[in-house]
Structure 1
């Protein structure tokens, strides 16, 4: 019984050992590498497992590179994998560049990949240029007419400037700026409509791809539409603003005139009040003069006669004026 138990324990240990061995050593992958003519040692595969590197993500790209005739080693692929790069995409890019006769080294491809750019797409764009369509760009000619321009920019990836070069957004912004400058320098919008290719030639001559990850091959004007009369609208707005300024100044002058009139009325009322006050003091002054003997009784009567005569003359003059105004002739 003890012998059976001991034999079963040994079998279990053997099974566990075989499982651990197969887990550490990818036999199937090693056989595939040998069949493809790729010399990958079994201890290298075990080392990948211990370094937490997936052997399949190293061996399969290595097989593709070997079949394509690229001088790539296991250590290079493993180092790029550990750096966080996409080994499979780098190898595919190297194969595509090799087939298209584009000079691209493994180090440059790894740098492009680690910079966050799609190196395979960049190589494909170098072979098959990409067309970037700009949004509608609004520009105004010197005669005040707005033109809405849409362009198509054909670009090719510049492998040497992919690391540190500007992207598509910069290309679109620069092309839009060039369109605005070209249209704005035209004396008449009709000249732009007649020769839209003048815009593309002018913009292309500015070297807009400087410092970018692309090389501009051509700029084609896809559509040109006539927009608003910006010049007339600006003149209308300016006239409206001038009218409002004039109205404000007129209102200011009117308010000043009203204030002046009210000031004069207040002054007149003040003078009238002083006259009334002075007239109220006349009887008192007369009584004082009579009391002190400075004014005689006859002088007083004579003064009253003069006043009465003056009032009569005023009344007569008022009646004559009334008769003139109401004369039926």
Structure 2
């Protein structure tokens, strides 16, 4: 029984010591003191209460102290952690900036970090510029020849513009637009192929890094390929379109002519029908004239003689027709 009680006391003592050293990180306090960082055990205990990892804060303070950044305080580091920032990344960036003689304050570093950018990577990019390869940019010179260009943009992070400045996508879009404008203003594609550096010079003069988080150091044309003859293709398409329009107009005129011809034929048939109808009424009119005494037998014979004479004159004037009362061709 005494042995079991002793084991129970030992387990309880271990649990209590574990809880004590968790809330009061004594070894971490010794490490801070040995490193020259002034911090009390009460503050470490209060960090646990505030749910701030003491290890992160103490290590950041030790790193800053060893790098000569004595202005950083525990309250500032805790506030940045509670705001959702990355304390270790900010301290790394401040140390790197201090060694590289880059003007970077703690307020600026924390603002960049809380804005969602990697402040340590930004400092590294300020020291070691980054090369960005643009996607193939297609443009057409004034002579109608298509050119496909690829460029390499060397940029350096602009610390002051990291908060609110545009990113890499904006830089690439502006460079692509500048390349298209430069090639499009060239008289012919040969001049572009002979002097590709003219594109770089023209694009650099436009200040494409304005309002971005980067400073463009250089733009180098890596490759230029010749594409299709866009001018000739456009002319062919225009000629085909003009041909189709002309054909459509000709078909329209043809349709109108056919419609007019059909209309004239219809009118001619209508006129012939009226003539036939009128001719059919002639015998009736002559019979009525005989009955009424307005037409005599001699008048009728005279009319027949005149009609025969007229038919004979028509046959003489138009060879190839059969004379009246004969089967021979006159």
The two structures share one fold, judged by TM-score above 0.5: yes
Q: Cα distance, 1:19 vs. partner? A: 4.0
Q: Cα distance, 1:13 vs. partner? A: 6.7
Q: Distance in 1 between matches of 2:14 and 2:150?
A: 71
Q: Cα distance, 1:5 vs. partner? A: 11
In the alignment, what sits opposite 2:117?
A: 117
Q: Cα distance, 1:62 vs. partner? A: 1.7
In the alignment, what sits opposite 1:38?
A: 37
Q: Cα distance, 1:30 vs. partner? A: 2.3
In the alignment, what sits opposite 2:243?
A: 243
Q: Distance in 1 between matches of 2:277 and 2:29?
A: 129
Q: Cα distance, 1:29 vs. partner? A: 2.3
Q: Distance in 1 between matches of 2:17 and 2:152?
A: 63
Deviations 1:270-306 (A, max 9, x none): 1011111111111221122122121123323433444
Q: Cα distance, 1:185 vs. partner? A: 1.6
Q: Distance in 2 between matches of 1:258 and 1:103?
A: 88
Q: Distance in 2 between matches of 1:138 and 1:277?
A: 79
Q: Cα distance, 1:10 vs. partner? A: 7.9
Answer with 287-296 or 31-40: which moved more.
31-40
Q: Distance in 2 between matches of 1:235 and 1:7?
A: 101
SS in 2 for 1:150: strand
Structure 1: 5+ residue stretches without partners: 324-329
- 2:174 matches 1:174: yes
Q: Cα distance, 1:21 vs. partner? A: 2.3
Q: Cα distance, 1:310 vs. partner? A: 4.1
Q: Distance in 2 between matches of 1:59 and 1:148?
A: 55
Q: Cα distance, 1:127 vs. partner? A: 0.5
RMSD: 2.4
Q: Distance in 1 between matches of 2:14 and 2:146?
A: 82
Q: Cα distance, 1:211 vs. partner? A: 1.0
Q: Cα distance, 1:23 vs. partner? A: 3.0
Q: Cα distance, 1:17 vs. partner? A: 4.2
Deviations 1:174-216 (A, max 9, x none): 1111111211221121111111111111111221111111111
Structure 2: 5+ residue stretches without partners: 323-330
SS in 1 for 2:209: coil
In the alignment, what sits opposite 1:327?
A: none
- 2:161 matches 1:161: yes
Quickly say closer, same or farther: Cα 1:60–1:263, change in 2 above 3 A: same
Q: Distance in 1 between matches of 2:161 and 2:6?
A: 68
Q: Cα distance, 1:312 vs. partner? A: 5.6
TM-score by length of 2: 0.89
Number of residue equivalences? 321
TM-score by length of 1: 0.89
SS in 2 for 1:272: helix
Q: Cα distance, 1:64 vs. partner? A: 1.4
